[in-house]
Amino acid sequence: MTGEVLIEAKHLALIRGNRRLFHSLSFSLHKGQAIHLCGKNGSGKTSLFKILTGLRQPNAGSLTLWGKSFKTFEPDDYQKLLYLGHQTAVKSALTVEDNLLFNARLFDSVEVNKKMLHHALKSVGLWAFRSQVAEKLSAGQKRRISLARLWIAPYRKQPEERVWLLDEPLTDLDTDFINVLQERIDAHLASGGGVIFSSHQPLSLGGKVSEVNLGNFR
């Protein structure tokens, strides 16, 4: 794989309680590349995302983001990462529109205008539901509210440098929207971004995907 290295992990190890989740885990993510994290439930996929976002410290190993050690990372450095967890973080009492505005402001430091809002919600098929409270939506629609942030991402500074960390993004999605999501990820990779995603099924992203099976690092 050629291109600038965005993230490099060397010999990462993580222990939870008396259980070793993984050890000697090494990989590198380059511009224009996606990494598919796979493994059984409990193999440490979500825990690895927490390490990458600074929410958890590994027991051993080194991690660099854009050539900078994670040990010296400042809060602003993490703005180059866009993390979507396996839980949707949707507020049931808020409307579809207000959920997206809230999440974009909180997690992406973006003030969303009407044009951006229309583009994002139309892209995920929720523009007609923009005034509806989230508690009335299906699980798949709630997932799409979270994924709408991927259509807001280009409005950030230097979006091509961003790495998207997507934990089980396909949960509750139908086939048609999985295809829409694949196209969005393809566009991000084409712009020089990177993606690390976990899923029990692969995404069709051509030869841009490398697989990292955490079960091989127990």
Asked whether the predicted pLDDT for residue 159 surpasses 70, the reply is: no
Query: Could you say which DSSP state residue 124 is in?
Result: T
Both tokens of residue 98?
């207000």
35 - beta bridge partners? 196, 210
For 142-153, the pLDDT digits (tens) are 999 999 999 988
Confidence (pTM): 0.92
Read off the pLDDT of each residue in 130-159 and give the average, rounded to a whole number: 88
pLDDT at 17: 87
Asked whether the predicted pLDDT for residue 1 surpasses 60, the reply is: no
pLDDT at 155: 73
Report the half-sphere exposure of 205 (CA within 13 A, side-chain side).
27
Which amino acid belongs to residue 27? F
Asked whether the predicted pLDDT for residue 127 surpasses 90, the reply is: yes
What strand order describes the sheet that includes 194-198? 81-84, 163-167, 194-198, 34-38, 209-213
pLDDT at 18: 86
pLDDT at 157: 62
CATH number at residue 200: 3.40.50.300
| Contact between residue 116 and residue 153 where contact means Cβ atoms under 8 Å apart | no
Range of the domain at 83: 5-217
In percent, how much of the chain has pLDDT > 70?
94
pLDDT at 200: 84
Asked whether the predicted pLDDT for residue 89 surpasses 80, the reply is: yes
Report the half-sphere exposure of 105 (CA within 13 A, side-chain side).
10
Q: How many domains does one find in the chain?
A: 1
For 23-78, the pLDDT digits (tens) are 999 999 999 999 999 988 888 999 999 999 989 999 999 999 989 998 898 887 88
| Contact between residue 22 and residue 45 where contact means Cβ atoms under 8 Å apart | no
